Chains A and B, each alone.
Chain A
Amino acid sequence: MTSELDIFVGNTTLIDEDVYRLWLDGYSVTDAVALRVRSGILEQTGATAAVLQSDTMDHYRTFHMLERLLHAPPKLLHQLIFQIPPSRQALLIERYYAFDEAFVREVLGKKLSKGTKKDLDDISTKTGITLKSCRRQFDNFKRVFKVVEEMRGSLVDNIQQHFLLSDRLARDYAAIVFFANNRFETGKKKLQYLSFGDFAFCAELMIQNWTLGAVDSQMDDMDMDLDKEFLQDLKELKVLVADKDLLDLHKSLVCTALRGKLGVFSEMEANFKNLSRGLVNVAAKLTHNKDVRDLFVDLVEKFVEPCRSDHWPLSDVRFFLNQYSASVHSLDGFRLECGGTIWAHCNLHLPGSSNSPASAFQVAGTTSVHHHAQQFFLYFQ
């Protein structure tokens, strides 16, 4: 007696969250059954392994049929074949587009091309995520990228509109798309300590402040590409380190302001010129694509590592950076009555950045320098 055919079709499509998870994780039916058996479901329900097998097969078949629709979530909403309550639909979509931190960290900033896809088995063995799951996640990134690539309007909104993702997930995808588009290098060993959350936070700020969209909301691909003009303008920051007087003045301003407030004041004082040079050089180089890609590597090398070697506490780094950019305003030729609102805006974002505040801040803080600088040039030229 062998089972030829075995199906169950409900008027409301049954979705078992546990099985969905197993399916998304790329387990085969046999593995999934074994895992379910191990979870003790047989004891709880008094079912037999055969029942479990049939149930799992059935769910897998349903998911397989749903997958086509999940590739374009709005279709899932309007299709007539599966009657699924809205809350379940949202769950299906959200889970389908969810990704593994470990995986995304590997792919972040890489070109979403066939070549990268070929390397997925390496990533799979490295991260312990099944190849199927890796492929799904990779394809999701690619699909989202393709759809929103040429679109006007806010990146996050576009993703949300076309993939019906939750706000949080849409932001993450925006970051992934942004990184993939600009091909930021994130895989270097030096950057390994940074989590995806840190990068996503940076991406959000950069999208807000560095892109074409930040300048003019009517532009094409506004949130994807960096504003070339702005990068050009950053070159002019060089005056901060090239002009010796200005450098000294800047230093003294910062030092006066921070005296007594910083635990590592002496180190700061000693290193100020180096740090300032490092930051400004990174900013000034950004006109070259190659350097844009290496932005994070450079920042870590030129700023974060010196700070770390001097054992700067996090709060000090923050003070320093705040003061560093604030002092620029009072320099001659850099007069500006902006301050308040922009800083408030930045500070709001800073503390909540990530669970690993030290690392997050170090980069985020740096970003805000540029942010400020950008604003600066906008106002003056």
Chain B
Amino acid sequence: MPGKLKVKIVAGRHLPVMDRASDLTDAFVEVKFGNTTFKTDVYLKSLNPQWNSEWFKFEVDDEDLQDEPLQITVLDHDTYSANDAIGKVYIDIDPLLYSEAATVISGWFPIYDTIHGIRGEINVVVKVDLFNDLNRFRQSSCGVKFFCTTSIPKCYRAVIIHGFVEELVVNEDPEYQWIDRIRTPRASNEARQRLISLMSGELQRKIGLKVLEMRGNAVVGYLQCFDLEGESGLVVRAIGTACTLDKLSSPAAFLPACNSPSKEMKEIPFNEDPNPNTHSSGPSTPLKNQTYSFSPSKSYSRQSSSSDTDLSLTPKTGMGSGSAGKEGGPFKALLRQQTQSALEQREFPFFTLTAFPPGFLVHVGGVVSARSVKLLDRIHNPAFVGIMGNTRSYKLLDWNSFNSDEPETRDAWWAEIRQEIKSHAKALGCHAVVGYSESTSICEEVCILSASGTAAVLNPRFLQDGTVEGCLEQRLEENLSTRCGFCHIPYDELNMPFPAHLTYCYNCRKQKVPDVLFTTIDLPTDATVIGKGCLIQARLCRLKKKAQAEANATAISNLLPFMEYEVHTQLMNKLKLKGMNALFGLRIQITVGENMLMGLASATGVYLAALPTPGGIQIAGKTPNDGSYEQHISHMQKKINDTIAKNKELYEINPPEISEEIIGSPIPEPRQRSRLLRSQSESSDEVTELDLSHGKKDAFVLEIDDTDAMEDVHSLLTDVPPPSGFYSCNTEIMPGINNWTSEIQMFTSVRVIRLSSLNLTNQALNKNFNDLCENLLKSLYFKLRSMIPCCLCHVNFTVSLPEDELIQVTVTAVAITFDKNQALQTTKTPVEKSLQRASTDNEELLQFPLELCSDSLHSHPFPPVKEHLESASSNSGIPAAQRATSVDYSSFADRCSSWIELIKLKAQTIRRGSIKTTVTVEKASPVGDGNFRNRSAPPCANSTVGVVKMTPLSFIPGAKITKYLGIINMFFIRETTSLREEGGVSGFLHAFIAEVFAMVRAHVAALGGNAVVSYIMKQCVFMENPNKNQAQCLINVSGDAVVFVRESDLEVVSSQQPTTNCQSSCTEGEVTT
């Protein structure tokens, strides 16, 4: 079924001089889609040609529309010789294929050449006419939306979360084809760029088909990666979570749904509000809409009759309040059974999401991970798989013991690993894995495949309809409703998969919780955290002999378990040193190089109020008789204790004192000076159990038995805290800070160091690596000092080993400023909350009117302070109807911006003259002023380039995302043969990354957006050959193009009549303010 693609080439500017004689260029443009090519006229002798072409029309299948990129080539006409290419623009037209995303792509695109970089810009307009296809056997999947965001996108509501989708496409790498010997580097690079563009289009289409099969309409947490396997090919693979999303419409349309009594009842148990009065005010959770029918209504109505009274007494459960501890077992079994049925039909119950709708996550088990070493030319089986984190058990499979003869596909490799993950999750008593991700590390012909996630028990109501009985539902929700629910262990206490130290939850005191919790997800928004979080990193290097093929693979798989173990120990030590008890966003990266392995784990440490206070770190010497040694040990011990105390102060960790008796937790046994135990492996190819547990003891004991251990302790203490005013984390939001101001700065920093090849030892290597990371962080703090107080969020480290003695570290993060004064106030609230844990009614009360007005606010986890303010103000005697209009911004996606219009709006609001509008006018005036100022700043105000914000987070502080325009997924290659002239490797890469940013921004702006969220640089492969004066770099980035509206502007717009909608083009003006 065809669609019609229309392209118009308007003009060019800043073109390079192609004709030395005249210092001008005779440019024309070739527009290519699939196999069809159109050309514009030659615009003679100009660096700013105005082609103003006709509409070039391509009639194509929608399958092609999804796969193919639009290729625009700018050339210089030459009468006597071949035309010279100036550069190209690839435009992914996918965003035009969704019904509600962008309708037109129009704007200035940088003309990019793989050898020369950006060479001028071209103005292009692209449109698509798409006809509906009702063919059931179609191969296209137009209309399925893709999001990189690993949470439910802000202006949508998840109706059903279907689950895991994956796909993988393999092709030969053009760089390694025979033809590459005779073609130019430019041709080779372009072939590669084009191929990858095609492959990712195809991949996306195939995933879309799978989603349609599952009856979903979107993929959330879409992660696409490239494996450059060299000779053996090019793999493009993607994973994601299929969902059925529903766009949040204006509350007016939504309100009637709340009026139905049965609906109303459904919400009650979910919110667990002890005050029945608020129920009658007609609440509606953000997760409900009419299309969602997960349970038979009759079971519901039966339930609802008693729910009000039951729920007002939270502690009263079906099993009786006295035996809360025992209750866990049968209940969990029931729960598991229920959800299993929901998940059974799924091959892999995985979710790439890291943040969830409230109530989705019931329990979290711990991190599960699996790794496998493969040889790329030949097929081998998993060498190593393990469970990490809480579970602390390892299985080591000798990869030699399996030797299948039949060739496997890469699909099978991944399937194996996923199976492994699934079984680990089961062992933890969990039926699902959340925060799931996959990665590879390739060196020559050896490839390490890794997968990791967090084992979890989920609330089935989101997964499928009709499987949940009402009674279970209610119990479940009771459980959920406590803010500590997710910490409670999902596994059976008596039949634990690994030894752990359990105590009663410090929050509800009914359920058991582990002493520490490791997860790969973001901190749930409703979790109670004490103090602030911080970035915790474990860094590790291991030397490895150079070897070939199988010997190499064996060596690597032998090293892996030790690395995992050490990384884990380091994480645990550092966590204790910080006085915290949980890790979120854990990401362990193991990189393989020619002669070494690198491990880098990053996570955000927090103090969860529900978990027990972590004990200190105890140092034990091996030779207690030696007096001076003892002294040294005690000195170290003192230092450690001091550091812990200092950290507690720094991160404001001051948990409320709760006497042990009340909690009823076992009194810690006397300290056992037992060493961290690593059990011997039973036999060569059998399972090796690594016991990482630390027994039932209060303090964590580090035994110093040799100089290595001493080094380790020293290295623990060398980590310098960030300078005052700085915080850092690798999760979306910094726990303990929630009053962000609007200034954000996304950045990428790359460092490569060359190791001195002489006598490298593990320690020296570790130290070098540690210094590299620490210095990099210090540099970032210094560079961003003007933003203090600020927080580096989503700090994402990537390590690669491009050559023998080179270590490359790439960091992408965003710095967000926050208001220090407010921060102080808000940090107190969690403490208060934890003290009066049950009395959250206040907050619940406040949330109700909000939910009534607009779900989007609720699903916006971000500025609770503001929400509360707003809700507080809305509580103060403004009738509900009026409120509804006041937050009715979803229908105002298109806003106005120019100050004249703003003034008009102001005039209007003044005429209306209600309480609400006076507030609005006040808030509007600074905006207006800002615009005035801009206009009057004379020479530079006429800039045509709109600001496009970029952030790795899923939100923009102080702003509301009103529209998702589509996924941005771009792949660039840049090569140079004049490295020195371009400022050496630093100059080359600096320019290239700046160009990549520019191209991403240009594409977003052309789609009509003003920001990229969930931006990620997935690959940055840098190769150099200084002797030949050459370098090459490949970069792959992705993100979601969005339109956002500043909250301050929003109020202006929303307070006036819906009829005064302004053009969407105004967004361009708006962003310059």
Contacts and interface: CB of A to CB of B under 8 A. Distances in A.
Interface of A: 1-14, 45-48, 50-52, 54-55, 57-58, 61-62, 64-65, 73, 75, 77-83, 85-87, 89-90, 93, 160, 164-166
Interface in B732-757: 745-756
A8 B783 contact: yes
A51 B772 CA distance: 11
Contact of A160 (B121, B747, B752, B939): B939
A178 to B, nearest CB: 21
A64 B990 CA distance: 11
Nearest to B1072: A86
A26 B547 CA distance: 51
Nearest to B108: A80
A11 B775 contact: no
Sorted nearest first, the 3 A-B pairs with minimum C-beta distance are A164-B939, A5-B752, A10-B747
Q: Is the interface of B mostly helix, strand, loop or mixed?
A: mixed
5 contacts: A11-B746, A11-B949, A61-B983, A82-B994, A87-B937
Nearest to B987: A61
A9 B751 contact: no
Q: Is the interface of A mostly helix, strand, loop or mixed?
A: mixed
Interface in B969-1024: 983, 985-987, 989-991, 993-995, 997-998, 1001-1002, 1022
Contacts of A80: 108, 110, 118, 121, 945, 998, 1001-1002
A88 to B, nearest CB: 9
B1069 to A, nearest CB: 13
B290 interface: no
Nearest to B990: A7
Interface in B828-880: none
Contact of B783 (A3, A50, A55, A82): A55
A55 B939 CA distance: 30
A165 B14 contact: no
A183 to B, nearest CB: 29
A246 B691 CA distance: 117
Contacts of B983: 61, 64
A9 B986 contact: no
B990 A45 contact: no
Interface in B414-437: none
A48 B998 contact: no
Contact of B948 (A1, A2, A57, A83): A83
A372 B947 CA distance: 52
B947 A61 contact: no
A13 B990 CA distance: 12
B753 A78 contact: no
Contact of A6 (B751, B942, B997): B751
B986 A61 contact: yes
Given A78-B943, A160-B939, A164-B939, A1 B1001 contact: no
B34 interface: no
A85 B783 CA distance: 18
Contacts of A65: 987, 990-991, 994
A243 B502 CA distance: 118
B782 A86 contact: no
A51 B771 contact: no
Nearest to A164: B939
B939 A165 contact: yes
B940 interface: yes
B985 A5 contact: yes
A166 B731 CA distance: 45
A90 B783 CA distance: 22
B631 interface: no
Given A45-B723, A55-B782, 18 more contacts: A4-B754, A4-B806, A4-B985, A6-B751, A6-B779, A7-B750, A8-B747, A9-B994, A10-B747, A11-B746, A55-B779, A58-B990, A80-B110, A80-B1001, A80-B1002, A83-B947, A85-B947, A86-B934
Interface of B: 13-14, 108, 110, 118, 121, 723, 745-756, 768, 771-772, 775, 778-783, 785, 806, 808, 934, 937-945, 947-950, 983, 985-987, 989-991, 993-995, 997-998, 1001-1002, 1022, 1072
B778 A47 contact: yes
B112 to A, nearest CB: 11
A164 B943 CA distance: 11
A2 B950 CA distance: 32
A1 B745 contact: no
Contacts of B1001: 11, 80, 83
A3 B753 contact: yes
A57 B986 contact: yes
B14 A86 contact: no
Contact of A90 (B110, B781, B939, B990): B939
A45 B771 CA distance: 19
Contacts of A85: 947
B993 A1 contact: no
A16 B788 CA distance: 15
Given A65-B994, A82-B994, A9 B753 contact: no
A1 B757 CA distance: 9
B989 A7 contact: yes
A65 B780 CA distance: 21
Given A9-B747, A11-B747, A11-B997, A2 B939 contact: no
A350 B1069 CA distance: 44
A82 to B, nearest CB: 7
Contacts of B750: 5-7
A73 B943 CA distance: 11
Given A9-B748, A51-B778, A89-B940, A1 B753 contact: yes
A7 B749 contact: yes
Given A78-B13, A81-B998, A86-B1072, A7 B943 contact: no
> Taking each of A7, A52, A55, A81, which has the highest tally of chain B beta carbons within 10 Å of its own beta carbon?
A7
A163 to B, nearest CB: 8
Nearest to B720: A46
Nearest to A160: B939
B230 to A, nearest CB: 23
Contacts of B780: 8
A47 B784 CA distance: 12
Given A2-B753, A78-B13, A78-B14, A46 B990 contact: no
Contact of B945 (A50, A54, A78, A165): A78
A314 B997 CA distance: 61
B995 A78 contact: no
A86 B937 contact: yes
Contact of A5 (B118, B942, B989, B995): B989
A3 B745 CA distance: 25
A79 B632 CA distance: 61
Contacts of A52: 782
Nearest to A57: B986
> Taking each of B749, B772, B990, B998, which has the highest tally of chain A beta carbons within 10 Å of its own beta carbon?
B990
A304 B950 CA distance: 63
B913 to A, nearest CB: 36
A140 B920 CA distance: 49
> Taking each of A50, A55, A65, A79, which has the highest tally of chain B beta carbons within 10 Å of its own beta carbon?
A79
Contacts of B945: 77-80, 83
Contacts of B947: 83, 85
A65 B14 CA distance: 16
Contacts of A54: 775, 779
Contacts of B747: 8-11
Contacts of B110: 80-81
B464 to A, nearest CB: 41
A164 B994 contact: no
A88 B989 CA distance: 24
A133 B751 CA distance: 31
Contact of B940 (A12, A83, A164): A164
A1 B771 contact: yes
Contacts of A78: 13-14, 943-945
B745 A10 contact: yes
A166 B940 CA distance: 10
A14 B780 CA distance: 12
> Taking each of A3, A62, A86, A87, which has the highest tally of chain B beta carbons within 10 Å of its own beta carbon?
A86
